[in-house]
Structure 1
Amino acid sequence: MVATPIGNLGDLSDRAREVLATVHRIAAEDTRHSGQLLSRLGIRCPMISLHEHNESDRVGRILACLEAGESIALISDAGTPLISDPGYRFVRAARQAGFEVLAVPGPSSVVAALSVAGLPTDRFFFEGFLPSRSAARRRRLEALASQPHTLVFLEAGRRVAAALDDLARILGSEREGAVCRELTKRFETTRTGRLAELAEWVRADVAQVRGEFVILVGPDSEERAPASASVPDAATLLRMLRAEGLGAKAAARVTARITGESANALYDRAVQEG
């Protein structure tokens, strides 16, 4: 499993270069794209495509190559294979067949973003790409609202503004976040701030919706009131949370955690009140 650059060719390790130059065959997510990389490296090697639409069919063919004594390197279009990229079925099948699978680590947009964002990294939750449709995206974010770790998302430029709007609405406009664009490339940009600020920044600058994005959301740092302090009744608290932009499920879950009332009953009430 060979990690390849996510933008800067200088990030390719000597070991990765050596492996790509010496294996019998390279399985690539896009042979045309990877062919350009190999050409720049001066490497000639037979390639076979392995992507999300043909992986199941190609596994048998690649295993046959391994059984014939060939060595295979798997690469994705950029970064570390299998991280929101194809290859899982192949790796699993290769291991089950008794073949040794080795990692040649290197670039990863997820790790790169975590290293520069200034958000907690001791624990994080990698979600990958959110659903493209807003309703499905909001439902997924409501399910993630209670995660106590830094959240990491991948997003395409054409959807980043809408995704940030939904993140601010569901997770809280004041939640800390970061937008990392075109990491390691010429126009690399990392912007930190509150989610509402980041959404506004992206909308205000058309240049910021071009390229590939990693969006990070810091853990909820809101201080909870001590048990002895006065807490609003469940109905009032539920309305307050809904007014702050939380979805019905998230608001019901938080209210239930604070008041001890039934989350299901609170959810039904939130839906009825709209």
Structure 2
Amino acid sequence: MLVFILRRLLVALAVLMTVAVISFALLHLSGDLATAIAGPEATAETVARIRVQFGLDRPLATQFFHWMASALQLDFGRSFYFQNSVIELIGQRMPITLKLGGAALVTALAVAIPLGVLAAVFRNTWVDRLSMFIAVMGQAMPNFWFALVLILLFSVGLKWLPVAGNGTWQHFVLPTVALGYYAMPSLMRMTRSGMLDVLGADYMRTARAKGLSPARVILKHGLRNAIIPVVALATVELGFMLGGSVVIESVFSLQGMGQLAWDSISRNDFPVVQAVVLIIAVFYIGLAFLADVLNAALDPRMRAQ
């Protein structure tokens, strides 16, 4: 198990370094950062002074290693627009995104697992077809469009929930549903597929032959084994939701990491953009690494492979 974890850790570190290099290169190759910071009306002398002030006159490799060395100490510099420490901005916004992502994942699992189990048990019936229809709709609908529909229905029409903000738990209900519905289809299909694999297994027939109730056979013996890939997928989906929350946070005006990334991109706030990209990559790669470890812990065959 230790060798497996070390191998996965080395892969995760290599992927993280690759993401850091690519994001740094794309940001610096997208145009002259000094000109973007100074603005279109700035003179050549102002642009040259800003280039020296922020170290943009140095070679790209030197800039990258200096940025990485500072990032390892959680020093991402100061925001050009907000005039605050970047790490302070992220510290203020990160809890909102984590709260939204965690609530959305719990919501998605609470819907996906029962639907997946029912779809497998009642295969090729109306229950199965209804479950698959719900999954296909969740996969086909853009999450921003679904979010707007929820706002029109529950905020504008019924006036049950607030439209925007993050002051109370009610503000998180609609964003949680919108983001959770995005992750639900893949979790439901994985649960259904896993249940179909185990329903015909020998140990399931043995459990039935012992006279156990159908519910106990399905939940204790079937779901216990079918849930293994779902756990790993849920971990990865959480990373997707944390990285892809920018649209939902923008629609509902949640002041999380996604909204911070959008504001920073639109205002050419490059230190914040670089920090947000790197931190989201760390979360996603870390969760993918955790998914591999959980898979190996739950399924010894992976360790053997």
Query: TM-score, normalising length from structure 2?
Result: 0.23
Larger radius of gyration: 2
Report the structure, 1 or 2, having the larger strand content: 1
Which protein, 1 or 2, shows the higher relative CO under an 8 Å CA cutoff with sep ≥ 6? 2
Report the structure, 1 or 2, having the larger helix content: 2
